[in-house]
Chain A
Amino acid sequence: MAETEFKVWQCQTCGYIYDEAEGDPDEGLEPGTRWADIPEDWVCPMCGTPKSDFEMIEL
């Protein structure tokens, strides 16, 4: 089965970008970590906005 493409998510408060391909190692999220695998209580590392207030974007 083919892997689905990595997606990019953006915080709607501060603009922080979470790219599934790159992850965020400073936050303990290894490259390739899918958005769905990030805990629901995770918050934006730049401004504290909840995960639910991120939107998927095309860059």
Chain B
Amino acid sequence: MDQVMTFKYIFPSKRVINKILFQLDTPLTSKYLLPLYEDVFLGRRPSRKVSGDVYYMMSEVLRKVKDRNRYEPMELAKLRKDLLFLSSLNGCNDGIAKLCYDIIKEDNESTDNKTKSKDLLLQLVKHGHLLSFKLVGDIYFYKTQEFDEAKRWYSKFVENYKDRIFDNEVLGNAAENLGIISFHDGDFELAERIFLKVIKMVPKAQCVRSIFYLSQIYIKYDPLKSKILLESCCSEGFKESFKEIGYLEMRYFENFERAMDWFKIGMESFDIECFFGYFDCSYRLQKFEQASHCYKSMLKLSNASTNYKNLFDLFVNNRRSEIKQLMTM
């Protein structure tokens, strides 16, 4: 009884599920799925036979809920994992591929499990299963960081994409990673084209990295455009964008007040470069008290890691006179 209450408490409303099902363009209805979710959550055997594809779709719905809320309770995470497992047991290739990917990605998994997953993924790839191409690319991109291999697999996925109607998000993610690889290879022209395509294709929340990289491409030649893109990133809470936009406002647009506001938000995530920017801005605006407080916070923060320590030393070396003046006040 307790578990039934927990399920009712944590599970998203029917309205949200209906919205997501509409987004996923599936013929399944919430009326059909909600009892199934409850059955799986409570560990009961479903009253009717359910195919692997349905289980996979159910897990996808939960993933979308996670993306929407940017938070997932432990119980729902377990439910999502169970659904993925059930889908792979019932012969859904997408489910098998995702489960294998999850196992390979995890560091805590045993090597035996990992080799089995690799074999399975290899078989799927040989069979021409499209999502597996993307997942193999993901392994090379995130796990082993072999970008040439990742590029090869992502390209295969994007080229063959037309054969199957995928969720745009999956394609967008693969294309985004492809763009990032091109960006790091120095092929900015191609990267720009890819990022622009991704931004058109995927909702803003899912393509923040594309927007950020695009802003980095434009920052040299079209700072105004870059600023607009960075503001868009900031509205999505992308951590790296706060210091970038802060420095852009401070050094290029000479708007110290606004730069200070951006740095202040960045400081909440303990980014030491935001502290440097905040110090410079407050010193320039002759807000010495704030500059002094900022310096003290930096001193504390610099002990957190060697990287921060090195950056802080460099900063202190370049601002000797300012710090000296603050100390004497």
Q: Do A and B bind each other?
A: no
